[in-house]
Amino acid sequence: MHTRRIGEVEVSAIGLGAMPMSIEGRPDEARSLATLRAALDAGVTLIDTADAYHRDADEVGHNETLIAKALAAHDRGGDVLVATKGGHLRPGDGSWTLDGSPGHLKRACEESLRRLGVEAIGLYQFHRPDPRVPYAESVGAVRELLDEGKIRMAGVSNADPEQIRQADEILGGRLVSVQNQFSPAFRSSEPELELCDALGIAFLPWSPFGGISRAAGLGSAYAPFARIAETHGVSPHRVCLAWMLARSPVVVPIPGASRPESVRDSAGAADLVLTADEVAELDAA
């Protein structure tokens, strides 16, 4: 597996978004653990999660607990950077709510530490801006967690360029990642990607295939991805991830998966080299 960097940490060029293994429509635990094991076997060393990745109100942190179990059972589990997030909540009725207050973020981090079974979280990201709380206060809480050694690296998610600059300033130049939605269907995060490229901050595209409901139709919705996939004898999904990698060396996609075969297919994108003409065609798709 080719590698890229998040801060000073070297990670696999393709990560894994673990959310589908814990929310509505999730598989049973055996298949989820098999999926995580397949990711580790394929050389994936970046797993993205959040305390809000759960289905029912009484199982906050379901995804974090699942990941901790999988890592403990694998001989390369200690090589993985777990990136978790705080600031989003799920009441248990299918909705998503926000709490970016410093008190909540600090409590959430403590609970994530407990579930992951670590002394310090590798990468902790503020999940989503809360309009009721000044952004500086939310990021300030993350800075305090960083200064206290509760987290080793800090990032933000769902942030615009102004918020990225503000977060980096508040963190004293220690912002290492921005996790935003980016896919063939959702390209409005282009300015954020370009800013991260200029600043040398890792850009982690979430839902790179357009989301769980759209992922299967990627090739039919975007013909160039299907055509180039056929040329290379691979899936349109693998082409999509290779296209993202070609956009900038700071890009580290985190495709979601709940099946071992999906993980293995995504991991192969790190070895797929697209021509400049192919990248340009996909840019215009």
Q: For the chain, what's the residue count?
A: 285
Residue type, 128: R
User: What are the angstrom distances between the C-alpha of 4 and each of 196, 213, 269?
Assistant: 14, 29, 13
User: How many other β-carbons are positioned within 10 Å of the β-carbon of residue 222?
Assistant: 19
Active site residues: 53
Instruction: Give pLDDT, residue 211.
Output: 73
Instruction: Give pLDDT, residue 213.
Output: 62
- SS3 for 259? coil
User: How many other β-carbons are positioned within 10 Å of the β-carbon of residue 285?
Assistant: 16
pTM for this entry: 0.94
Decide: 203 and 193 in contact? Cβ < 8 Å: yes
What is the pLDDT tens value at each position of the chain, 285 positions in all? 899 999 999 999 999 999 999 999 999 999 999 999 999 999 999 999 999 999 999 999 999 999 999 999 999 999 999 999 999 999 989 899 999 999 999 999 999 999 999 999 999 999 999 999 999 999 999 999 999 999 999 999 999 999 999 999 999 999 999 999 999 999 999 999 999 999 999 999 999 998 776 767 786 878 999 999 999 999 999 999 999 999 999 999 999 999 999 999 999 999 999 999 999 999 998
Assigned token pair, 158: 């769902």
